[in-house]
């Protein structure tokens, strides 16, 4: 039986006037590569923020690695690549090395300096995403796709058990998206890294993922990718409220 890394039971969340999520129940097992799909405003980012502890649910229960989310201390087990990384301040004077090393901040802990082997870990993480040549380059001088790889390296450097990526292909050229998914699939398969990939566009859900969850305030589908493929585009459109086109 695979270990449950994330478990949500009847989770609801409401912003001041808007219900964002209603009775969400979801389990993510070790080794899953889950595409969490939903249109803009469907509550994807809210769900991620709840999982990451940035928001607290109005009702329901969230468990991370078997522990209640509000008591969960091992944040370094969860790597996070935010959507905002695509729009970071490109004038920030930081090298790729400095950005990736900052991914160790939680693992190292308060009042402590980076360990001596931090440089080796940084180089290893950059190698995993094919960016080892860019160690000393300024982050702002890289292309959108390269920057996104660096942010993934930052998430990988602390050797997380779970990687959450919020719309990671935004800003990446269409022809490089497949290579990007290949890299994620490699990490999933060879590093046994559980992944949650958030996307608003069904077109970008690659065959590389193992599971799909469709969200629009509540979960409409959660299952294997193969089962998702049997669902008609009309059905998905009715969940999303607009037409969709699936790519196989």
Partner 1 sequence: MIEAILNYEFLQNAFFSGLIIGVIAPLLGVFIVVRRLSLIADALSHVTLAGIAGSLYLSQSFAGLALLNPIYLGIVASVSGSILIERLRRLYKHYEELAIPIIMSGGIGISAIFISLASGFNTDLMSYLFGSVSAVSRQDLYVVMAIAVVVVLFLVLFFKELFVLSFDEEYAKASGLPAKWIHLLFMVVVALVIAASMRIVGILLVSSLMTLPVAAAMRLARGFKEAIILAIVFGELAVIIGLISAFYLNLAPGGTIVVTSIIILLLVIFIKKIVLKVSIKSKGEEVL
Sign of CA dihedral 84, 87, 92, 94: positive
Does 105 participate in binding partner 1 (rule CB under 8 A)? yes
Which of 25, 30, 52, 185: binder of partner 1 (CB under 8 A)?
Answer: 52
112: helix, coil or strand? coil
- Exposure string of 204-216, with b = 16+ CB inside 10 Å and e = fewer, is bbbebbbbbbbbb
Helices within the chain (DSSP H only): 44-52, 96-101, 105-108, 118-128, 144-156, 174-190, 225-229, 233-240
Does 65 participate in binding partner 1 (rule CB under 8 A)? no
Other beta carbons within 10 Å of 110: 6
d(CA 121, CA 54): 27
CA angle 120-123-128, nearest 5°?
125
Smallest CA-to-CA distance from 122 within 94, 93, 90 is with: 94
What binding mask, one character per residue, do residues 128-167 give for partner 1 by CB under 8 A, x or -?
Answer: --------xxx---------------x-------------
Which one of 11-19, 25-33, 88-96, 187-195 is the stretch in contact with partner 1 (CB under 8 A)? 88-96
Which one of 100-108, 171-179, 193-201, 217-225 is the stretch in contact with partner 1 (CB under 8 A)? 100-108
Does 243 participate in binding partner 1 (rule CB under 8 A)? no
Question: Which residue, 97 or 167, is less far from partner 1 as judged by CB?
Answer: 97
Does 92 participate in binding partner 1 (rule CB under 8 A)? yes
Which of 2, 3, 18, 54: binder of partner 1 (CB under 8 A)?
Answer: 54
d(CA 64, CA 27): 10
Q: Residue 20 CB, nearest distance to partner 1 (Å)?
A: 17
Q: Residue 72 CB, nearest distance to partner 1 (Å)?
A: 9
Question: Which residue, 1 or 110, is less far from partner 1 as judged by CB?
Answer: 110
Does 82 participate in binding partner 1 (rule CB under 8 A)? yes
Return the HEC string of 189-244.
HHCCCEEEEEECCHHHCCCCCCEEEEEECEEEEEEEHHHHHCCCHHHHHHHHCCCC
Which of 12, 106, 176, 235: binder of partner 1 (CB under 8 A)?
Answer: 106
Question: Which residue, 126 or 202, is less far from partner 1 as judged by CB?
Answer: 126
Which of 89, 190, 247, 248: binder of partner 1 (CB under 8 A)?
Answer: 89
Residues that bind partner 1 (CB under 8 A): 52-54, 73, 75-76, 78, 80, 82, 84-85, 88-89, 91-95, 97-99, 102, 104-106, 108, 110-111, 113-114, 136-138, 154
């Amino acid at each position: 039986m695979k270990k449950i890394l994330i478990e949500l039971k009847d989770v609801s969340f409401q912003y001041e006037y808007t219900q964002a999520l209603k009775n969400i129940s979801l389990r993510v097992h070790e080794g899953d590569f889950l595409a969490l799909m939903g249109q803009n405003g469907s509550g994807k980012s809210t769900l991620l923020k709840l999982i990451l502890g940035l928001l607290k649910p109005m009702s329901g229960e969230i468990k991370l690695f078997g522990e209640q989310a509000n008591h969960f201390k091992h944040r370094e087990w969860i790597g996070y690549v935010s959507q905002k990384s695509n729009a970071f301040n490109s004038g920030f004077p930081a090298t790729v090395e400095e950005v990736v090393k900052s991914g160790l901040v939680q693992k190292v802990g308060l009042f402590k300096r980076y360990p001596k082997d931090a440089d080796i870990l940084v180089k290893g993480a950059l190698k995993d995403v094919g960016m080892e040549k860019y160690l000393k380059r300024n982050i702002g001088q890289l292309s959108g796709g390269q920057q996104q790889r660096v942010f993934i390296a930052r998430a990988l450097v602390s050797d997380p058990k779970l990687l959450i990526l919020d719309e990671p292909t935004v800003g990446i050229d269409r022809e490089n998206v497949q290579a990007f998914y290949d890299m994620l699939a490699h990490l999933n398969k060879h590093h046994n890294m559980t992944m949650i990939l958030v996307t608003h566009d069904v077109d970008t859900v690659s065959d590389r993922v193992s599971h799909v969850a469709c969200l629009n305030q509540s979960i409409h589908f959660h299952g294997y990718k193969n089962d998702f493929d049997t669902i008609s585009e009309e059905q998905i459109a009715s969940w999303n409220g607009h037409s969709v086109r699936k790519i196989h």
